[in-house]
Amino acid sequence: MSDTVIKAENLGKKYVIGHQQQQDSYMALRDVIAESAKGIVRRLVNLTNGRSRSHGSGNKEEIWALKNVSFEVKRGEVIGIIGRNGAGKSTLLKILSRITEPTEGRVRIRGRVGSLLEVGTGFHPELTGRENIYLNGAILGMTRAEIKRKFDEIVAFAEIEKFLDTPVKRYSSGMYVRLAFAVAAHLEPEILLVDEVLAVGDADFQKKCLGKMGEVAKEGRTVLFVSHNMAAVQSLCKRALLIDSGLVISNGKTEQIVDRYLQDSEKATAASLNERTDRMGNGCLRLYNYYFLDEKGNKIDQALTGRKLFIALEYRSKDGKPLRNVHIAIGIHGKLGENLFHLSTSTSGEDFSELPPSGTIVCCIHNLPLQPGRYNFNIFATVAREIADWIQNAGIIRVVPYDLFGSGKLPPPEQGPFVVEHRWQLLLKESRDV
C-alpha cells in the first residue's frame, strides 16, 4: 500500500563468531585490497595442502541475531522496539539503515532514512562539527541550501556553538550525541531511526530529544525508537515490537507489549547473575554475583528507606590477570525502566587504576532515598575505556518502610519515588519599625 514506508519480509541475519566484527566494520580501500589479497593467498595455501574452504570451519559458531522477522510500518507511525540486551534490536536498525545486509529475506523502504545508532555513526572524526553537519546532509541527499536553512536550528539544539569549528574527535561523548541527534532529527528524513544511544545524554537532553521525536511524528514522519526506558516508549509510541533471541515475539499496542516485556524481565532478573546470557561487553571483566549489606555489615534481602545501604559486586578477570583502569556503574530504575539515579566510580572520582584478578567492589549509599517498593538496577563495567560487562535488569532492590522522621509517616508515594531527609524550623527575626 502507498502509506507503507517499511516492509520487512522474513529478515534474517547470521553472524560467524570471530569473523563478523571484522566483516561489519568500515575499512579503507587499502584495507579492502589487503584483505582480498590475504583471502587469495589463504585459498591458494588451502588448495596446495589439499583443503577446501569448508574444511577446518568446524570450530566456527553461527549465531542468528535475527530470524524470520516480518512487519510493516505506516507513514507517520512511531514504533517502539524493545527487548533485552542481545535480542537483535540494534541489528534490525542497522539493516534498516543499510549499514549491514541481511543474510536472508528483504526489506523495502520508501523515503529518506536518518539514523542515530551509535555515537558518531556517519561522522568523520577529523572534520569539524560544522563540516560534519554539511557532510551528513549531503549523505541524506539534501542540497547545500536546504542544509544551510536548518543549520542554526541544529547548532542551537546541540548546544555546541563554541566547538562548532573543532574536529569532532575532540568532542566528549555527550557533545557527540547532542550533535548526532540534532543532525539526524533536523535534516528532515522521512524515517528516523533512534537507538538506545540517547542514554548517554543527561536528563534534560533526553527530555528535549523525546520532545523533538514527538514533533517529528506530528509532522507525519516515521520514527522507530529502541529503548529500555518503558516510560519513554509508552509516552512516544502507540505500537511496539518485542524482540527476543532474534524473533519478533509480539507486535501490538504499546501498553500490552510493555506489560509482557516487564513480565519477561522479571523472570530474567530472578536468574543468577552468573547465568545471565543477555549481557554485553568483551568479557575481560565479569560481574558474577551481587548482594546487599546494612550499615552493620550484615547481608540483607530488603533495604530501609533513608538508611545506609551497601551494594556489593563480585567480579573476576577473564585471564586471571590484574585489571587496569576500571570503571563501575549502577543505574537504579523505576518499574517502567525510567532512570532514577546513577551510581558511578567516575562521578565519585574513584575509578580503579588497578584491581586484583578477582574480588568484591562495594558501593555505599549513605541515605537510600527511595520510597518502599521494588526497583530494578543495571550494572556496567569498563576496562581501559572498553565495555567489559553490561547487564540490563541485573537485579532488584526491595525497599521497605523506615520511620526516617520519627513521625511514623513517609511522603505519599504518588508525590514521587524519592524520600529526602529534611527538617523545618521557624526563623525568628527582631521586629523593626517600617
Burial group, residue 17, by CB count within 10 angstroms (0-12, 13-18, 19+): exposed
Between 431 and 274, name the one with better pLDDT.
274
What is the 3-class SS of the chain, one letter each residue?
CCCEEEEEEEEEEEEECCCHHHHHCCCCHHHHHHHHHHHHHHHHHHHHCCCCCCCCCCCCCEEEEEEEEEEEEECCCEEEEECCCCCCHHHHHHHHCCCCCCCEEEEEECCCEEEECCCCCCCCCCCEHHHHHHHHHHHCCCCHHHHHHHHHHHHHHHCCHHHCCCEHHHCCHHHHHHHHHHHHHHCCCCEEEECHHHHHCCHHHHHHHHHHHHHHHHCCCEEEEECCCHHHHHHHCCEEEEEECCEEEEEEEHHHHHHHHHHHHHHHHHCCHHHCCCEECCCCEEEEEEEEECCCCCEECCEECCCCEEEEEEEEECCCCCEEEEEEEEEEECCCCCEEEEEECCCCCCCEEEECCEEEEEEEECCCCECCEEEEEEEEEEECCEEEEEEEEEEEEEEECCCCCCCCCCCCHHHCCECCCCCCCCCCCCCCCC
Instruction: Compute the mean pLDDT over every residue in the chain, rounded to the nearest whole number.
Output: 84
Instruction: Give mean pLDDT, residues 403-421.
Output: 89
pTM of the entire predicted model: 0.68
Residue where the block lists cell 540517547: 198
CA–CA separation, 381 vs 318, rounded Å?
13
Select from 370, 373, 375 the least CA-distant residue to 419: 370
Cα dihedral: 393, 235, 86, 381 (round 10): -50
Domain boundaries, the chain: 4-23+66-265, 24-60, 273-415
Residue range 264-314, pLDDT digits in tens:
887 777 778 898 888 999 999 999 999 999 999 999 999 999 999 999 999
Task: Quickly state the pLDDT bin for 2 (edges 50, 70, 90).
Answer: low
Task: List the single range of 23-27, 230-234, 390-394 with lowest mean pLDDT.
Answer: 23-27
In degrees, rounded to 5, the angle at the alpha carbon of residue 199 between the alpha carbons of residues 197 and 200 is 80
In the structure grid, which three cell numbers stand for residue 164, read together?
Answer: 562548532
How much is the pLDDT for 283? 94
Task: List the single range of 40-44, 230-234, 363-367 with lowest mean pLDDT.
Answer: 40-44
* Radius of gyration over every alpha carbon of the chain, rounded to an integer in angstroms: 25
Select from 218, 214, 237 the least CA-distant residue to 227: 237
- The pLDDT > 70 percentage for the chain reads 86
Between 60 and 310, name the one with better pLDDT.
310
How much is the pLDDT for 33? 42
Task: List the single range of 126-130, 270-274, 363-367, 417-421 with lowest mean pLDDT.
Answer: 270-274
CA–CA separation, 307 vs 27, rounded Å?
53
Instruction: Give mean pLDDT, residues 51-61.
Output: 52
- The pLDDT > 90 percentage for the chain reads 46
Task: Quickly state the pLDDT bin for 183 (edges 50, 70, 90).
Answer: confident
Residue range 201-225, pLDDT digits in tens:
566 777 788 788 888 878 888 999 9
How much is the pLDDT for 30? 37
How much is the pLDDT for 26? 38
How much is the pLDDT for 19? 44
Select from 378, 383, 397, 382 the least CA-distant residue to 276: 378
Instruction: Quickly name the fold that domain 4-23+66-265 has.
Output: Rossmann fold (3.40.50)
CA–CA separation, 324 vs 351, rounded Å?
10
Residue range 99-125, pLDDT digits in tens:
889 999 999 999 888 777 765 566 888
Between 176 and 5, name the one with better pLDDT.
5
How much is the pLDDT for 231? 83
Instruction: Give mean pLDDT, residues 316-338.
Output: 92
Pick the CATH number of 273-415 from 3.40.350.10, 2.60.15.10, 2.70.50.60, 3.40.190.170: 2.70.50.60
How much is the pLDDT for 380? 94
CA–CA separation, 380 vs 329, rounded Å?
5
Residue range 20-53, pLDDT digits in tens:
444 444 344 334 444 444 455 455 555 545 544 4
Between 365 and 40, name the one with better pLDDT.
365
Between 180 and 372, name the one with better pLDDT.
372
Residue range 341-357, pLDDT digits in tens:
999 999 999 999 999 99
How much is the pLDDT for 202? 65
Task: Quickly state the pLDDT bin for 197 (edges 50, 70, 90).
Answer: low
Instruction: Give mean pLDDT, residues 377-399.
Output: 93
CB atoms inside a 10 Å sphere around CB 169: 13
- Residues in the chain, total: 434
Task: List the single range of 15-29, 221-235, 396-410 with lowest mean pLDDT.
Answer: 15-29
